[in-house]
Structure 1
Amino acid sequence: MLPKTRGTIALISVHGDPAIDIGKEEAGGQNVYVREVGEALARQGWQVDMFTRRSDAQQAKIVQHTPNCRTIRLTAGPKEFVPRQELFEYLPEFVEAFFRFQHQTRTIYPLIHTNYWLSSWVGMEIKKRQLVKQIHTYHSLGAVKYKSINTIPLIASTRLAVEKECLETADMIVATSPQEKQHMRSLVSEQGNITIIPCGTDINCFGSVSLAEGRAKLGIDSQSKVILYVGRFDHRKGIETLVRAVGRHEVKEHQNLKLVIVGGSTPGQSDGIERERIEGIIKELGLEEITIFAGRVEHTDLCNYYAAADVCVVPSHYEPFGLVAIEAMASGTPVIASDVGGLKFTVLDEVTGLLAPAQDEAAFARAIDIILSDPQWRNQLSQNARQRVESKFSWDGVARQLDHLYLSQLARLHQEFLTPAV
């Protein structure tokens, strides 16, 4: 039985469609976050409408996930995929479509939780025309991202300005780690309200499969030593660092080695181009026979891949949190991650896995070698990883923290409505 209805909330994720298959072009952790948070909040008693942009004319306008949680696709610009760096010009249309939906359904959202900087702009525009509380989660900070890339996009100055305005004007910013909060303060603005609520994972799905069961389902030999990567084909995800680490002698000398790369790609799109580049490096290093490109995997099937792995590697140049890390840890799989951003919060060095400097293939090779060479220690890391996720990173636990935040903001909204302006 659902608890008493708390109210209606809008989760806004312009480019991260909660109903889309994970692994498609630009579909990753943010999509998972919004959908899982939405469904968990519905279990708390909220009516949750998740707004995203329609990117295909064949897509359903509304996808009902649970009785109290649905995805609503608004038309803004062409009904086709548009890279997120080109979406800003369509945001005014998104705002108007949002208001039309409210009018047509006679629904008012007193609280909106926006995700990523594009959605924050939408949220700030809604606040100009409607009495509403805005909560925001960045998922990625431009001020951090632009430090790690050589070519700065034309949209950069707009993004940086929007992120600063959002931090200073939103009713509350949700940082997913202490490191992300620190970056907001040092790189964006000293003004604004910030609270820390981590991302979560499905602890009933991840961790439900044993190593032997996972390998049997995937057809991987029980004697194999499996190194796993899960994520998009994106230069910033650091797949090249992982591949070159596996190509070093201290890793290649391990018997029955397997490198499994999970993630979809679209020919001609940026992720397809990155996959072709990675395939070229794998050929250059002579790793074709030990490398498996698993392609796009249904989110519910990922548990088999995590379970089958000896270690999961998250070599990102930067991550504000890193959902893959906690999915792997929930599965009892030790994680080797870049010593950056929220990964320093998620992964406890030498407790649930190992941290290595980003883009340092030699350091990643040493870390992989250490874990593969010591099965007993690997098992201890595995137990520690599962325990950490159970205690800190379940979706229902995240939803309970958001529930408390939302209720406090609605109480403030009620008080503001009753208090006459001076």
Structure 2
Amino acid sequence: MRVAFISMHTSPAERAGTADAGGMNVLIRALATALQRASGVEVEFFTRRSSPDQPDTTTLDDGIVLHHVAAGPARPLPKSGIDQYIDEFRANLGSLDDFDLVHSHHWMSGVAAIPLARAAGIPHVMTYHSVAAHPNSPLRDGEPPESPARLDGEIHCARESDLILAVSHHEAAVVIGRCQADPERVAIVQPGVDVDLFHPAAPGEAWTPSPAVEPGYLLFAARLQPLKAPDVALRTLALLPAAERPSLVVVGQVSEDFAAYEAELHGLVEEMGLQDRVTFLPGQDRESFAQLMRHASVLLVPSHSETFGLVALEASASGVPVLAAAAGGLTEAICNTHTGLLVPTHNPHDWAAQLLPLLRDPARREELGRTGRERAERMTWAHAAQHTVENYRRALAKGRVQRVAFVHAHPDDETLASGALIAHLAEEGVTVSLLTATRGEMGEVVPGPLSGLAGTAELERRREAELAGAVDSLGVAVHAYLGMPPARAAGREPRRYLDSGMQWVTEHVAGPADSSDERSLFAADDAEAVADIAAFLRRTHADLAVSYDDDGGYGHPDHVRLHHLTRAAAAEVGIPYASLTPDRAKADVWVELERYRPRVLEALRHHRTQLTVHDEHHITHSGGQPDTILTSTGLRGGVPRLP
């Protein structure tokens, strides 16, 4: 499975806590890595180029392929100003035909990618990571105004995505309630945590991150913006008794949307006389941040809103208790009174009232940390990747065909023209049915022990047996002959359609043989034959009919006739019709299925009266014509998504 991860406004290569990089950056990169390592899913990222030095494509140190797409000036931009370049990003992103599925992260990515997913005929999966605050919400205080396009964009993504993967029950409820998503298309996959990177501090472990502080500090880690409420952490610290006041380490930076906010926080520190107790650090690499985390005494997460709060889970994995706001997904990221404590308000007095007893009780902190670690060990990225793949398969299955009917003229046509495709579809769980119009009565017999069957009734029985063996080898679920139930219109007696034979009328046009019977397929009444094929399509519940192209592959009149008859029957039933073609230039869908060659060979060897298999690549037909065994297949016309 090949998946395109679209992250327009921020790159997975950015360090969390810098500019607009945060938990989403950590989540998408960790998930992509886990998908590739544990699930065999190939993931490629597409993000906006924010520097002229960034290459078109690069491979990150964990093997993730990252594409930089031109959209707007090649420099960092405030998130609030990026959405004006969505159309340019989409245009330069180009086709997604090489992928099986596209997973967009954040609303701008979804708006950009949905039309491309539709054009490629692949599912679009959406994860919001954050949803715009309601226009009347107090969460907007101190925040720049939302982009006018965001609210409509989020609703568009909810309505048009095949599946929405929410990171928490809280986010799922918001997406359903505010963005109008269909609950049937919303699933929850909570983030994971790297329990090898984030782990409790070992006794006597060396301390290196910052000489300015000693282990045992309070930790706040997030982008510096009002929504994350670092001011609550600072005011809470000021309310603690001076003799018991620990240090507070603030890890994070501002983005262009909040350029003046860091100065406000420094001013607040000076106003409250906390200069010697507060240390500001920039965003850290993952290893340094993990060390900072495990040497903290308590993690503070006072955010006004979080879709999940990944940093809280990382604290639990590090054996560090969490004091968090009872807001959004934070109520799911920690278990109240088991892995941390939830504060129902953002009043610093309420926070100090919860924090001080915790600081005075090392045994309680140790208990919360131990329980948090045990919980985190059950929430790894491998688990998150497994649940994500299950939902990807759900999206793929929902949008693709489930039952395909192949219609062929003679025994051996099914394997020669479409054997690899039939085997592939059957293996992928698609119910494949096969309708054969004739027994190939006019065909020659391979010279040798069976040549005496030519022109006898025994030849027909023999070819029926050969076809049964080939059908079984390919994995066909239902097989019938045209004119016999279930391929016979209701209320009509069974009938046989006979092989029409073939002769060249002109250099490029073939017709039936002079010796063909009036019961031949070529001579059959159009309405009767269409009704019989339609009966088969209905009774097998086919959602796609496949037969020859309009030239019949090589011009056989029965092939050409079946193209027109099957196409008409599919239209009558109301399902798509796709034509087989060996010409890649004509194909709307082209599939390389070399790994099914052994299955195709096994099926061909059943047709002993019609052809001789020489080796893995060559056969000779009964008339002496040499041929090459094909496993690549093309389809034209109304081709829905195939597995």
1:407 aligns with 2:393: yes
Q: How does 1:9-408 map to 2 (within 5 A)?
A: 9-43=3-37, 44-65=39-60, 69-99=64-94, 108-143=98-133, 147=137, 148-150=139-141, 155-189=146-180, 191-192=182-183, 193-207=185-199, 209-210=201-202, 212-213=204-205, 215=207, 218-219=210-211, 225-250=216-241, 252-254=242-244, 257-265=246-254, 269-391=256-378, 393-408=379-394
Retained in 1: the 8 A contact 2:80–2:257? no
TM-score normalized by the length of structure 1: 0.89
Q: CA RMSD in A?
A: 2.3
Kindly provide the CA deviation profile for residues 263-288 of structure 1, in whole angstroms up to 9, marking residues without a partner as x: 1346xx34442111111001000000
Q: Which amino acid aligns with 1:414?
A: R
What runs of 5+ residues in structure 2 fail to find an aligned partner? Answer: 405-542, 545-573, 576-643
- The 1:278/1:209 distance shift into structure 2, 3 A limit, reads same
Retained in 1: the 8 A contact 2:33–2:62? no
Determine the C-alpha separation between the residues in 2 that align with 1:112 and 1:60.
Answer: 22
- The 1:157/1:151 distance shift into structure 2, 3 A limit, reads farther
Determine the C-alpha separation between the residues in 1 that align with 2:40 and 2:240.
Answer: 54
Secondary structure of 1:142 counterpart: coil
Retained in 1: the 8 A contact 2:144–2:257? no
Q: How many pairs align?
A: 405
Q: Percent identity?
A: 27
Retained in 2: the 8 A contact 1:39–1:66? no
Secondary structure of 1:52 counterpart: strand
Retained in 1: the 8 A contact 2:46–2:66? yes
**Higher alpha-carbon deviation: 189-198 or 328-337:** 189-198
Retained in 2: the 8 A contact 1:175–1:181? yes
Q: Which amino acid aligns with 2:90?
A: V
Determine the C-alpha separation between the residues in 1 that align with 2:223 and 2:191.
Answer: 18
- The 1:344/1:212 distance shift into structure 2, 3 A limit, reads farther
Kindly provide the CA deviation profile for residues 173-222 of structure 1, in whole angstroms up to 9, marking residues without a partner as x: 11111122222233232635111100112111000643752646544776
- The 1:212/1:239 distance shift into structure 2, 3 A limit, reads farther
- For residue 358 of structure 1, report the CA deviation from its aligned partner: 4.3
Retained in 2: the 8 A contact 1:145–1:318? no
Retained in 1: the 8 A contact 2:15–2:21? yes
Determine the C-alpha separation between the residues in 1 that align with 2:24 and 2:216.
Answer: 30
Determine the C-alpha separation between the residues in 2 that align with 1:225 and 1:69.
Answer: 36
Determine the C-alpha separation between the residues in 1 that align with 2:367 and 2:200.
Answer: 18
Q: Which amino acid aligns with 1:93?
A: E
Kindly provide the CA deviation profile for residues 131-169 of structure 1, in whole angstroms up to 9, marking residues without a partner as x: 110111110111458621137866544211121222122
Secondary structure of 2:60 counterpart: strand
Determine the C-alpha separation between the residues in 2 that align with 1:226 and 1:109.
Answer: 47
**Higher alpha-carbon deviation: 170-179 or 54-63:** 54-63
- For residue 396 of structure 1, report the CA deviation from its aligned partner: 1.1
Determine the C-alpha separation between the residues in 2 that align with 1:181 and 1:214.
Answer: 42
**Larger % of helix: which?**
1
- For residue 121 of structure 1, report the CA deviation from its aligned partner: 0.5
Which of the two has higher C-alpha Rg? 2
Structure 1 partner of 2:534? none
What runs of 5+ residues in structure 1 fail to find an aligned partner? Answer: 1-6
- For residue 416 of structure 1, report the CA deviation from its aligned partner: 6.8
Secondary structure of 1:188 counterpart: coil
- The 1:370/1:151 distance shift into structure 2, 3 A limit, reads closer
Retained in 2: the 8 A contact 1:317–1:358? no
- The 1:145/1:326 distance shift into structure 2, 3 A limit, reads farther
Retained in 2: the 8 A contact 1:265–1:295? no
Determine the C-alpha separation between the residues in 2 that align with 1:311 and 1:372.
Answer: 8
Larger relative contact order (CA 8 Å, sep ≥ 6): 1
TM-score normalized by the length of structure 2: 0.60
- For residue 324 of structure 1, report the CA deviation from its aligned partner: 0.9
